[in-house]
Amino acid sequence: MTGSIDTRSAASEWQAIDVGAVGTWMDSEGLPPGEITGLTPIGGGTQNIMLRFTRGGRDYVLRRPPKHPRPVSNNVLRREARLLEALSGTDVRAPRVVAVSADETVLPGLAFYLMDPIDGFNPGTDLPELHAGDAAVRHAMSLSAVEGIARLGALDHTALGLADFGKPDGFLERQVQRWLHELDGYRANEGYIGPNIPELERVSSWLEANRPEHWRPGIMHGDCHLANMMFRFDGPELAAMVDWEMSTIGDPLLDLGWQIATSPAGIAGAAVSPKLAAAGGLPTASEMIEHYARFSDRDLSSITWYTVLAGFKLGIILEGTYARAIAGKAPKATGDHLHGITLQLFADAAALID
């Protein structure tokens, strides 16, 4: 078991994994010995690379940064692994970490971790026959996702050893300016002269003027649309929330706002989970809010503000790909598509304000 095996990543780029080094490291972690077989890429909505394989009669998923890591990629992976380890043993449905290589020596320059595979499907790319054929199942899927994020926000992050995982002080106060600064930074991309988002000023001003005065810190997933969740094949229940790169300690109600803003029942959300959107049968925003309240004692009177903030923030994130596409750093078709979603998210946010 030496050398490297070339395989395709989820982004359809050839990658090389030093199988021998991974196997030796697994031995040092006390994991079952044997040959690594069945190395297969796992697709999804993330830039990180995930590879499934079998060793010693057990299946694993290896998660590592992309082929061309950003300066923060390794720290993001380490943070993600730390959070998932903290969630182990709670009632939050998330991947279970098996082992972490945090020091970047096994795969030179790269942190990575192993986790157990999730037995489920991603509704952003697939919709099994059971779920496609039953509106009640699809309705319950979305409510199960809402329950999942409510249970996450109800955890005591300090008791889980995550007191230093984020900077909750001033979290809501800095959101608008932090993301406007991010948007302004996109001008560094050649050819991008600045955002052409008609509702930008109106939405940002409204958010600053109507910010909730009181809130309680908790764990946030940070990007909890349905395409970042996996569901059981045999029913509507959430199997796991995945892709925790944006997790932090902040205001968990932003996760609920994110879920509402990206619901496939809306135009912008339909682009995230098109098969689910086409099938229909999904709950309304009011139903999602009511269901969240069954598992949380948080004050939901300002949920419109959080939903507007979610659209504002996600729209700016997607605009970054549009700016890179103009500079030739991303496919033009992808950039144009995401810019269209940005415009819709801001239009939806303005409609909520009205």
Encode pLDDT of 320-339 as tens digits.
Answer: 999 999 999 889 999 999 99
Distance between CA atoms of residues 314 and 342, nearest Å: 8
Query: What average pLDDT does the segment 53-75 reach?
Result: 91
Query: What average pLDDT does the segment 271-296 reach?
Result: 94
Closest listed residue to residue 173, CA positions, set 51, 21, 289, 309: 309
Query: What average pLDDT does the segment 193-208 reach?
Result: 97
Confidence category of residue 44, pLDDT binned at 50, 70, 90: low
Residue 212, token pair as written in the block: 């909730």
Distance between CA atoms of residues 45 and 314, nearest Å: 14
Instruction: Write the Ramachandran bin of 278: left for phi over 0, alpha for psi from -120 to 50, otherwise beta.
Output: alpha
Which of 81-85, 124-128, 284-288 has the weakest average pLDDT? 124-128
In a domain, 47, yes or no: yes
Pick from 84, 115, 146: which residue ends a domain? 115
Residue 211 has pLDDT above 90, yes or no: yes
Give the Cα-Cα-Cα angle 210, 213, 218 (nearest 5 degrees).
115
In a domain, 124, yes or no: no
Residue 45 has pLDDT above 50, yes or no: no
22 and 134 part of one domain: no
Residue 283, token pair as written in the block: 């709950």
93 and 198 part of one domain: no
In a domain, 122, yes or no: no
Confidence category of residue 266, pLDDT binned at 50, 70, 90: confident
Pick from 91, 115, 139: which residue ends a domain? 115
178 and 299 part of one domain: yes
In a domain, 120, yes or no: no
210 and 184 part of one domain: yes
Domain region containing 244 = 129-352
295 and 164 part of one domain: yes
Structural domains in the chain (count)? 2
13 and 60 part of one domain: yes
Confidence category of residue 271, pLDDT binned at 50, 70, 90: confident
This prediction has a pTM of: 0.90
CATH code assigned at 226: 3.90.1200.10
Q: Which amino acid is at 312?
A: F
* H-helix or E-strand spanning residue 52: strand 49-55
